[in-house]
Chains A and B, each alone.
Chain A
Amino acid sequence: MSVDAAVVEWSRAQFALTAMFHWVFVPLTLGLSFIVAIMETIYVRTGDPEWRRITRFWMKLFAVNFAIGVATGLILEFEFGTNWSNYSWMVGDIFGAPLAIEGIFAFFLEATFFAVMFFGWNRVSKRFHLTSTWLVAIGSNLSALWILVANAWMQNPVGMRFNIETARNEMVDFWEVVLNPNAVTKFLHSVSSGYVLAALFVVAVSAWFVLKKRDVLFAKRSILVAASFGLLSSLYLVLLGDSSAYVVAHDQPAKLAAMEGVYRGAERHGIVAFGILDPDKEIGDGQDPFLFKVEMSHMLSLLGFHDVNSFVPGVEDLVFGNPEQGIESAASKIAKGRVAVDALAAYHAARKRGDPAAAELAKGDFEAHASYLGYGYLDRPEDIIPPIALTFYSFHIMVALGFWFILLFLVLLWFHMTGDIAAHTNWLRLALWSLPLGYLAEQTGWIVAEVGRQPWAIQDMLPVGVATSDLDAASVSVTFWLFLVLFTALLIAEVRIMLGQIRRHGEEEASHV
């Protein structure tokens, strides 16, 4: 395919950089908004001014994170237009609706009540203020819903038809797009992970206060709320992991194979709890892909297909095909994809020379092969497989950390209920150092989602190589470095302001944000 590989790689790197920085701020906003709302609810119900003080402290940190994180997403939208113009044109009709709803309803809901939340402490009634806090939390999470609906559509394009005249995908069923199983699981999984991160944030900062023997009552109460919220969210994430595996197994089998390092498919396939991949492993070389692994028998079949006896396709089944299991080879799909591409070209050529009969014939040919269109742009069968090592390790790091967080929240709650949590300094230190692990889990989760769907910008329809704009690679690389500098500066600014607010806690009890 005649696409400058450097442009594709720099465009991917730039988008990944922007998205990863954006996802530093967003999950904390999603979760902290609810934790603050819960704390304020306790204040309103009990009337205890200590809870008001607690609420206002965390609300300040919420404001810092919100302010630094705001508008990072704007750059992503610009990048769609510049680096991914072919893709943007093709998805414009689909993304328009959810992104407009996000802007009109969710963002305005969030922005309107944000002012009441921060300016209204002494100006509106307690109940109206509490309602505003909850509406900010709901608004933030609704914003995420519409963005994730758009993302999920790329992973599983539904509710649309391809317009052969305009090269655009047009929405034919809004609800099918919104209720796409991929969207539902992705939304719930992403926001729940944000709740866990926010709980880790509150627990870590509170643990620091306890270790410093500063404002211990405030810190213990914060840990109680955050650890309870974090534990429930973590357990919910485990349940969601099951739904996500089921959806991925059906919609993106190559991603599932990469997540689990499955090269040769099998019935009653086990799940790798821990493993080290052989870096020299090649597709089809017959070698064991693992240098070492600990496996739980049957579990991948059970999680992926809800049947312990089911067949889980591996990378080699998807590349070479497996007639016994009804799996078509990638070579066959590529051949059909090329028929679709040729038919598309033939249709437009016939239209241009005014030959309606030939155009109709080509259109029929295209429609018969349209579901393979994206494969027509791939050069080799193994191109359908995402980077296996990165996807595998990211997935396993995320899962392992998820289970660590459950244990951490459980232990902290246990200490809280059975004695003095301040006595368990080792666990408090672990809680403090688990905060960066929370961010690591967030980032690895997105690596699984986005690297795991390669080579597709739109699953089976548009590979990233065709989605990219025809740009000068040097321009994209320059903007990559500029964004890296800017985003790093913003991150440093956030951390400094946040740390300053944490250290000054207690000095400005009654001040305004």
Chain B
Amino acid sequence: MTDTGSRRIDARRDDGDARSVRGSLPRRVLGFYLDGFRRMTLGRTLWRVVLVKVAALLLLALVLLEGMRPDRGASDAERAARVMGVLTEGRSTPADEVSPCPSTPPSSSGRAPSSP
């Protein structure tokens, strides 16, 4: 049998698998998902990867990152006060003491130096 012929039969066999599940809509939806999960091949591997990944990420995120959160357990008012504190006290140099530029070149205007 040719490749194409065999593929056509595969496709027909697939179509022949289509079963019309009788019953209410929720039953049919449930059946759709259950059957889908039961017949998974590659999907089983992918679900394992997803579950391991989500577990590892959540573990890292909840144990490490959440533990590091500086405003953990703080109320909105406390957070606002903390951030306002950073915004108003996070600067050490007075307004009239801006660090000077490395050097001040002549103002640039006109054509680009390298333009023809």
Task: Annotate B16-59 by CB proximity to A: 1 below 8 A, 0 otherwise.
Answer: 01110000000000001101110111110111011001101110
Residues of chain B with a CB closer than 8 A to A493's CB: 49
A96 to B: closest C-beta gap in Å: 13
Chain B positions within 8 Å of A269 at CB level: 112, 115
Nearest-neighbour CB distance to chain B for A384, whole angstroms, equals 11
Task: Bits for A208-235, please: 1 = Cβ < 8 Å to B, else 0.
Answer: 0000000000000000000000000000
Nearest-neighbour CB distance to chain B for A56, whole angstroms, equals 9
Q: Residues of B contacting A63 with CB < 8 Å?
A: 42-43, 46
> Which of A60, A71, A119 sits near B57, CB closer than 8 Å?
A71
Pair B71/A49 contact, Cβ less than 8 Å: no
Nearest-Cβ distance from residue A80 to partner chain B, whole angstroms: 10
User: Considering the chains assembled together, what is the distance between the CA atoms of A267 and B110 in angstroms?
Assistant: 5
Q: Are B70 and A508 in contact (CB under 8 A)?
A: no
| Interface of chain A: mostly helix, strand, loop or mixed | helix
A266: CB under 8 A from chain B? yes
Residues B49 and A122 in contact, CB atoms below 8 Å apart: no
- Give A501 to B43 CA distance when docked, in angstroms: 12
| In contact, A344 and B88 (Cβ under 8 angstroms) | yes
Answer whether residue B1 sits at the interface, using C-beta atoms and an 8 A cutoff.
no
A476 to chain B, nearest CB (A): 8
B7 touches A501 (CB 8 A): no
Q: Is A252 an interface residue (CB 8 A)?
A: no
Name the distance in Å between B91's Cβ and chain A's nearest Cβ.
5
Partner of B43, one of A118, A482, A510: A118
Residue of B nearest to A469 (CB): B70
| B interface majority secondary structure | helix
Point out the residue from A82, A298, A330, A377 that lies within 8 Å of B69, measured CB to CB. A82
Q: Does A86 count as interface, using CB distance less than 8 angstroms?
A: yes
Residue pair B107, A377 in contact (C-beta under 8 Å): no
Are B105 and A82 within 8 A (Cβ)?
A: no
CB <8 Å contact, B102 and A283: yes
A170 within 8 A of B: no
Spot the interface stretch: A33-41, A312-320, A398-406, A449-457.
Answer: A312-320
Contact (A482, B36) CB under 8 Å given A266-B109, A470-B70: no
**A70 to B54 Cα, complex, angstroms:** 9
Residues of the B chain whose Cβ atoms lie less than 8 Å from the Cβ of A86: 83, 86-87
Q: Is A323 an interface residue (CB 8 A)?
A: yes
Chain A residues near B33: list those with CB within 8 A.
115, 119
Known: A311-B109, A479-B68. 20 other contacts (CB 8 A): A49-B11, A71-B53, A71-B54, A74-B57, A75-B61, A85-B79, A115-B32, A119-B32, A166-B84, A284-B102, A290-B114, A314-B108, A317-B108, A335-B98, A376-B95, A465-B90, A466-B90, A486-B56, A508-B41, A512-B39
- Give 13 A-B contacts (CB < 8 Å), ordered by A residue: A75-B60, A78-B65, A89-B80, A120-B36, A123-B32, A265-B108, A269-B112, A284-B103, A338-B98, A344-B88, A381-B98, A471-B68, A479-B64
Binding site for B on A (CB under 8 A): 1-3, 49-50, 52-53, 60, 63-64, 67-68, 70-72, 74-75, 78-79, 81-83, 85-86, 89-90, 115, 118-123, 165-168, 264-270, 282-286, 288, 290, 293, 295, 297-298, 311, 314, 316-317, 319-320, 322-325, 329-331, 334-335, 338-339, 341-342, 344-345, 348, 376-377, 379-382, 465-466, 469-472, 475-476, 478-479, 482-483, 486, 490, 493, 497, 501, 508-513
